[in-house]
Amino acid sequence: MRAAMNGTYNRMAFYYTGEFMMYPDIAGDDVNLNTTGGSGDAGLALYPEHNFQSLPESEDLAVGHIWLHVFAAMNNANNIINSIAGLKASYPDRRGELDSLYGQSPVLRALCHFDLSRAYAQHYTFTADASHWGVPVLLKTPSPGELIPRKTMKQTYDQVIKDLEDAVFLLKQHPGRSSFAASHVAAWGLLSRVYLYKEDWDKSILYADSVINFGGYTLTPANAYADMFMSGTPGREVIFQLYARKGAAQSIVGSLSAIYSSNSFQAYAANQLYELYDADDIRKKMFRTAASGKHYTLKYARMDGANFDWPMDPKVCRLSEVYLNRAEALWHKGRYADAAKDLQLISQRSHPENMITIAFNDAADLFAQISAERRRELCFEGHRLFDISRRKQKLQRGDDCNAVRCSLTYPNARFILPIPRKELDANKAMQPNPEIN
C-alpha cells in the first residue's frame, strides 16, 4: 500500500510536470513561445495548443499525453481505494496507517477527474444545468474492451466533490503536515477552487474560510518568496505540492524547468503579464531577462550556483490561491470591502516596503484588480486559460503575440482539447468534442 501510494504521487507529479501544468498558460495570454520563424518552431512545447491547432491524432503530444497520464494516475488511486477493505481485514493492527493512505487516495482521484474535465470539457457553467459532456468517471479500472461513456459535467463535479468531502472526513482523523501529501486542508483548498469554478460562491467562501481559519498556514514572507520555488524548501503557505525533482546531472528535457526556467527556455512571459508588475513587486524578481530582452520565469529554476536538484515541485494548492478564490467569491456576493481585504493581504506581501491600500472606483474596477492579482500570483502554475474560460471572457493576447492566432472569442470549441483519436477508435461509447474531433 505504501509503494502503491508512492507510485500514485509519482504519476501525479509526472503529468503535472509534463504538459498538463503548462497547457493552461501556454494556451492562454500570459505566455509567448520562443519562436524563430523557422521550421523548428513546431518542435516547441505545446506549439499546437499555443496556436489552437490541437488535433485528436496528436497521440505523442499534449492531446494524447495528458489523457493517458491522468488516467494512469487515476488507475493507481482506484487500486488503493478498492483494495482497502481486504487489507484492513488482513492487518487490523495497521488500520490507522491504512486509513491515512486510503484517505489521501480520494483527493488524488478527485484531482484527476477535475484536471481531465478542465482540459477536455467546457467549464461547469457552459450550460445552465451543466448537462454538457464532462469526462468518464472511473471508480475502478475498466476491464479490457469495456466501453466507457462520458458523464455530464454535473456528474463529474458531483464525484469530485464527493471524493474531496469523503477525504476530509478520513484525513481529519489522521492529520499530516507534509506538503507533499494530500491532507484534509488540501481537500478544503481544492474544494474552494472547485466551487469557484462551479460558481457556488457561498461554498467557495466556506471552504476557503476553513483553510484560512485552520491556522496552520501563513503567507510566505516576501524575503522567502523565491526560496519557496527555487530552494526545494516548502514555503509556509504551500498546502499541497508534488515531488518532482531532477538531480544536478540528470536531463530536465521536456520538464517545467526546461520549458520555463532554464537559460534555453522555450516559453516566456508575454508583455501584458510582465507589465502587470510594478517596480517594487518582489514577484518581478522571479523573472530573469535574457539577452534577447525576453523575460522568463524562475519558478522552476535552481538558485544561482546551486548544485542540488532542480526543485520543480509543482504547487497544487497554496494559501495565496485560497485567498484569491475567496476574494473572487466575495466579490460575486457583493461583499466588496471583504474582497478588497483579501486582495490587500496578497499585494502587501509582495510589497514589503510599501503600505498597500486597495482603492476602487466601482465593482468592475475591483474585479479587474482581483483578476490582475491572480495573474501576477499564479502565473506559470497552470491556471490562466481555465480562469478565462470559466469567466466567459475573450482570450486576447497582446501586441507581442507571435502565434498563428492571437485571440479566441467566447464561447469557443478551442478552449478545450479534442478527445484523443486512439480513445475514440477503441471506445465506441466515448463521445467526441464538437467541432474539434
pLDDT in tens, 134-146: 999 999 999 988 9
Instruction: Answer whether residue 22 is part of any domain.
Output: yes
> Would you state the cell numbers that stand for residue 359, as one nine-digit string?
482603492
Residue 355 phi, psi (nearest 5): -100, 110
Angle at 386 (CA atoms; ends 375, 21), nearest 5 degrees: 80
pLDDT in tens, 267-276: 999 999 999 9
- Provide the pLDDT for residue 235: 85
- Provide the pLDDT for residue 294: 98
**C-alpha closest to that of 14 among 240, 216, 243, 232:** 243
Largest CA distance in the chain: 64
> Would you state the cell numbers that stand for residue 297, as one nine-digit string?
520565469
Instruction: Answer whether residue 324 is part of any domain.
Output: yes
CB of 52 closer than 8 Å to CB of 27: yes
* Position 335 pLDDT exceeds 90: yes
pLDDT band at 70 (very low <50, low <70, confident <90, very high): very high
Report, as an integer, the average pLDDT of 169-186: 91
CB of 357 closer than 8 Å to CB of 340: no
pLDDT in tens, 405-414: 999 999 999 9
Work out how many domains the chain is built from and give that number.
Answer: 1
> Would you state the cell numbers that stand for residue 183, as one nine-digit string?
491532507
Q: Which residues make beta-bridge pairs with 238?
A: 318
**C-alpha closest to that of 141 among 212, 236, 74:** 74
Distant-in-sequence, close-in-space partners of 315: CB < 8 Å, separation ≥ 6:
229, 238, 240, 241, 381
Instruction: Answer whether residue 332 is part of any domain.
Output: yes
Report, as an integer, the average pLDDT of 309-322: 92
Residue 175 phi, psi (nearest 5): -65, 140
Return the CATH number at 126: 1.25.40.390
pLDDT band at 176 (very low <50, low <70, confident <90, very high): confident
Range of the domain at 69: 2-34+55-223+317-398
Q: What is the pTM of this model?
A: 0.97
Instruction: Answer whether residue 185 is part of any domain.
Output: yes
- Provide the pLDDT for residue 68: 97
- Provide the pLDDT for residue 307: 67
CB of 123 closer than 8 Å to CB of 197: yes
* Position 109 pLDDT exceeds 80: yes
Instruction: Answer whether residue 254 is part of any domain.
Output: no
Q: Specify burial of residue 271 (Cβ count, 10 A radius: 0-12, 13-18, 19+).
A: middle
The three-class DSSP label of residue 127 is: coil
Percent of the chain with pLDDT over 70: 99
CB of 245 closer than 8 Å to CB of 309: yes
- Provide the pLDDT for residue 249: 67
CB of 329 closer than 8 Å to CB of 294: no
Instruction: Answer whether residue 45 is part of any domain.
Output: no
- Provide the pLDDT for residue 233: 83
> Would you state the cell numbers that stand for residue 358, as one nine-digit string?
486597495
Radius of gyration from C-alpha coordinates of the chain: 21
Report the C-alpha gap between 115 and 379 in whole angstroms. Answer: 17
Percent of the chain with pLDDT over 90: 89
The three-class DSSP label of residue 403 is: coil
Instruction: Answer whether residue 300 is part of any domain.
Output: no
- Provide DSSP, 172-187: HTS----TTS--HHHH
pLDDT in tens, 298-315: 999 988 766 677 878 999
pLDDT in tens, 17-63: 999 999 999 999 999 999 999 989 999 999 999 999 999 999 999 99
Instruction: Answer whether residue 421 is part of any domain.
Output: no
